[in-house]
């Protein structure tokens, strides 16, 4: 199957080249699938796209979309998912961060569960063996843990990590059912994740959570903010109480 790793970037020049090298190395351990990388860059002023273009000269399985401007994480993924499935003919796609917080070695573990028949594989920080960065301040750890629990409770979800950014989705049978345009997605930013998770669940995807260690950033700075926490609550309630 063709599987595309989608990576949104905004000012990730410090990490993106090493990340691409690490992913390409890992792909060698996945001989039964055709692997590709799709970077969706929000027109980063730091030259992230140039760094990606250099790697495009070395590896033949990299695509790059440069958006007109930074439009939010959700919009970057929507652009990437549509391109991966419609243009690159991906049978599955993986959401993956561009800052090394996700471990390239987890890719083959996600794919192993796809091969086992699962439709939606979540890299989970909140199942046995999973973790968040030790360096995080206590209030950040608490917010992340209770945020996931709260979303689980509001939406009656079976899953434990409901804001994880690392996941694999099977396209066939699900792509057409997902709200993958700016008029239907309930958040253009980080909270888009909750909406897609909920739709996969509602559409009876076979879901599997596998433990991951969420790492500290490899460099650069986070783009998420307090606003994203409020948006997550808004999206959860909007889904719960929609007609």
Ligand X SMILES: Nc1nc2c(ncn2[C@@H]2O[C@H](COP(=O)(O)OP(=O)(O)O)[C@@H](O)[C@H]2O)c(=O)[nH]1
Task: Name the site residues for ligand X (rule: CB under 6 A).
Answer: 8-10, 12, 40-42, 67, 70-73, 76, 97-99, 101, 190, 222-224
Residues in touch with Mg ion (CB under 5 A): 97, 99, 101
Alpha carbon distances (Å) from 178 to 27, 48, 58, 173, 185: 27, 29, 34, 10, 9
Alpha helices by DSSP H, 64-191: 73-82, 107-115, 138-155
- Give the nearest residue (CB) to ligand X: 98
Smallest distance from the beta carbon of 29 to ligand X, in angstroms?
23
Tokens 């055709």, located at residue: 34
Strand duo 2-9 + 34-41: pairing: parallel
Smallest distance from the beta carbon of 191 to ligand X, in angstroms?
11
CB of 160 or CB of 187, closer to ligand X: 187
Residue 41's binding partner out of ligand X, Mg ion, none, with CB under 5 to 8 Å set by partner kind: ligand X
Smallest distance from the beta carbon of 243 to Mg ion, in angstroms?
35
CB of 101 or CB of 119, closer to Mg ion: 101
User: CA 72 to CA 204: how far, in whole Å?
Assistant: 28
Residue 72's binding partner out of ligand X, Mg ion, none, with CB under 5 to 8 Å set by partner kind: ligand X
Residue 231's binding partner out of ligand X, Mg ion, none, with CB under 5 to 8 Å set by partner kind: none
Going by C-alpha positions, the residue among 89, 91, 87, 83 that lies closest to residue 67 is 83
Smallest distance from the beta carbon of 117 to ligand X, in angstroms?
29
Angle (CA) 185 187 188, round 5°: 95
């Amino acid at each position: 199957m063709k599987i595309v790793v989608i990576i949104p970037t905004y000012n990730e020049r410090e990490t993106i080249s090493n990340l691409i090298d690490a992913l390409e190395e890992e792909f060698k351990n996945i001989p039964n699938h055709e692997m590709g990388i799709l970077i969706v860059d929000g027109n980063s002023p730091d030259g992230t796209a140039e760094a990606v273009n250099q790697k495009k000269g070395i590896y033949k399985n990299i695509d790059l979309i440069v958006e007109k401007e930074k439009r939010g994480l959700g919009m970057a993924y929507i652009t990437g998912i549509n391109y991966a499935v419609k243009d690159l003919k991906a049978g599955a796609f993986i959401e993956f961060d561009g800052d090394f917080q996700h471990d390239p070695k987890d890719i083959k573990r996600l794919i192993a569960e796809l091969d086992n028949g699962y439709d939606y594989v979540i890299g989970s920080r909140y199942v046995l063996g999973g973790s968040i960065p030790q360096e995080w301040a206590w209030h950040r750890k608490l917010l992340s843990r209770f945020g996931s629990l709260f979303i689980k409770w509001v939406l009656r979800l079976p899953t434990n990590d409901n804001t994880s950014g690392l996941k694999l989705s099977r396209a066939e049978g699900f792509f057409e059912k997902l709200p993958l345009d700016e008029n239907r997605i309930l958040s253009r930013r980080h909270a888009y994740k909750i909406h897609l998770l909920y739709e996969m669940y509602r559409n009876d995807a076979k879901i599997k959570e596998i433990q991951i260690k969420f790492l500290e950033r490899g460099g650069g700075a986070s783009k998420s903010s307090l606003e994203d926490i409020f948006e997550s609550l808004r999206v959860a309630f909007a889904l719960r109480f929609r007609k």
